[in-house]
Amino acid sequence: MTAVRRAAPAFTACVTLVALVATLLLLASAGPAGAAGYRYWSFWERTGGHWTYATQGPATVRPDDGAVQGFRFAVSADSADASRPRGTADFDTICADTPAASGSKRVALVLDFGTRADAPSGETPPGRRTACARVPADATSADALAAVAKPLRYDTNALLCAIAGYPREGCGEQVSAEGAARKKSAAEGKSAATEKGAADSGPSLGLPIGAAVVALLAAAAVWQARRRRDESG
């Protein structure tokens, strides 16, 4: 009986450790798989020579004369992951042929339709372009966009879905994290071999944890067998 009392706590501790390690294995393997990205038009403002993700939508922002704003179509998970408009974005260059006029303002717009990797299935993105919108002094960024990039398309929640008719369909649809990462890698010119090499560069975290689980299960089985022998004896 003494042997049984000693074996039981050790057996319980072993089983608890097995459960803990198994939980860690599940967490390690399930983390990134649940994430997702979205395909949408993001809105940017140019300040100090840098793009900043706009904190308001284009329907509420009222830019000053001389402002530079951008729209980029891409797949991203959130604002921290969003792709910025590409290329130069200089007001004097974009609005060089649009002189100032009383009672109106000029807004330089950069329209980046993204890459083929960002595009919905069956669609090809137009080339990046710029435009100088002359609009009334109290106009919003949405007004400026409408002045130079029709047709625009919005959903029932006033989310901007298409600029200059692109894309033809869809609006902020969800894209799997795996698909978004693969498309972003392709857009950046990474080869499939490079991606595979990066993926295979080290041992999987699941392998050593899995081995530990197997070993602990074996130890638990030994303790159980000893307890049964002691009980039968």
Percent above pLDDT 70 for the chain? 61
Instruction: Return d(Cα 158, Cα 153) in angstroms, integer.
Output: 9
Give the CA count within 13 Å in the CB-facing half-sphere of 57.
Answer: 9
Kindly report, residue by residue over 137-154, the tens digit of the pLDDT: 999 999 999 999 999 999
Contact 26, 163 (CB under 8 A): no
> How would residue 202 be classed by pLDDT, with cut points 50, 70 and 90?
very low
Is the pLDDT reported for residue 175 higher than 50?
Answer: yes
At residue 119, the pLDDT reads: 97
Token pair, residue 163, equals 């600029």
Q: Mean pLDDT score of the chain, rounded to an integer?
A: 77
At residue 114, the pLDDT reads: 97
> How would residue 158 be classed by pLDDT, with cut points 50, 70 and 90?
very high
Instruction: Return d(Cα 144, Cα 159) in angstroms, integer.
Output: 16
User: Does residue 58 have a cis peptide bond before it, meaning omega lies within 30 degrees of 0?
Assistant: no
Is the pLDDT reported for residue 181 higher than 90?
Answer: no
pTM: 0.65
> How would residue 226 be classed by pLDDT, with cut points 50, 70 and 90?
low
At residue 183, the pLDDT reads: 53
Instruction: Return d(Cα 173, Cα 39) in angstroms, integer.
Output: 6
Kindly report, residue by residue over 49-94, the tens digit of the pLDDT: 999 999 999 999 999 999 999 999 999 988 888 999 999 899 999 9
Q: What is the mean pLDDT of residues 205-231?
A: 52
